[in-house]
Amino acid sequence: MDAPATDDAGGADGAGGRPKRPVGAWAVTALACLPVLFALVAPSELSRYGPGAFVRVPLEGLLCVALVLVLPARRRRVAALLVGALFGLLAVVKVVDLGFQATLDRAFRPASDRPFISAGVGFLSESFGRPAAITVVVAVVLLIVAVIGLTMLSVLRLTRLAARHTVVAARSVAVLGAVWAACAVFGAQLVPGTPVAAVALDRALQVRDDLQGHRLFTEQVTHDAFRTTPGPELLTALRGKDVLFSFVESYGRDAIEDPRFAPQVGAVLDAADRRLRAAGYASRSAFLTSPTAGGGSWLAHATLLSGVWVDDQQRHHDLLGTDRFTLTRAFGRAGWRTVAVMPGNTKAWPEGAFYGHDRVYNQPDLKYHGPPFNWGTPPDQYSLSFFQRTERAAPDHAPVMGEIALVSSHSPWTPTPRLIPWDRAGDGAAFAAAAASAGRWGDALRDPGRMRTAYRGSIEYSLSALLSYVETYGDDDLVLVFLGDHQPAPLVTGQDASRDVPITIVARDRAVLDRISGWGWHEGLKPGRRAPVWRMDAFRDRFLAAFGSRPAPQR
Domains of the chain (ranges plus CATH)?
A: 23-210 (no CATH), 241-546 (3.40.720.10)
pTM metric for this prediction = 0.72
pLDDT at 8: 43
- Amino acid at residue number 289: T
Cα Rg of the chain, angstroms: 29
- Answer for the pair 462, 452: CB distance below 8 angstroms, yes or no: no
For residue 553, report the phi and psi dihedrals to the nearest 5 degrees. Answer: -60, 140
Sequence-ordered list of residues with C-beta below 8 angstroms from that of 174, at least 6 positions apart, any chain = none
Q: What whole-number distance in Å separates Cα of residue 331 and Cα of residue 349?
A: 20
pLDDT at 297: 94
**Parallel, antiparallel, or unpaired: how do β-strands 359-362 and 337-342 relate?**
parallel
Beta-bridge partner residues of 244: 402, 480
- Answer for the pair 399, 336: CB distance below 8 angstroms, yes or no: yes
pLDDT at 209: 57
**301-353 pLDDT, tens digit each:** 999 999 999 998 888 888 998 999 999 999 999 999 999 999 999 888 889 99
Q: What whole-number distance in Å separates Cα of residue 303 and Cα of residue 323?
A: 15
pLDDT at 553: 61
pLDDT at 21: 56
Give Cα 534 distance to the centre of its chain: 19
Q: What whole-number distance in Å separates Cα of residue 273 and Cα of residue 269?
A: 6
- Answer for the pair 340, 361: CB distance below 8 angstroms, yes or no: yes
Q: What whole-number distance in Å separates Cα of residue 482 and Cα of residue 485?
A: 10
pLDDT at 472: 97
Q: What whole-number distance in Å separates Cα of residue 65 and Cα of residue 162?
A: 7
Beta-bridge partner residues of 195: 189
Q: What share of the chain is helix, strand, coil (3-state, %, to 5)?
A: 55, 10, 35
pLDDT at 19: 53
Q: Which residues of the chain have pLDDT under 50?
A: 1-18, 555
Q: Could you count the other beta carbons within 10 Å of the beta carbon of residue 22?
A: 11
Question: 3-state class of 401 per DSSP?
Answer: strand
- 154: enclosing H helix or E strand: helix 130-164
pLDDT at 191: 72
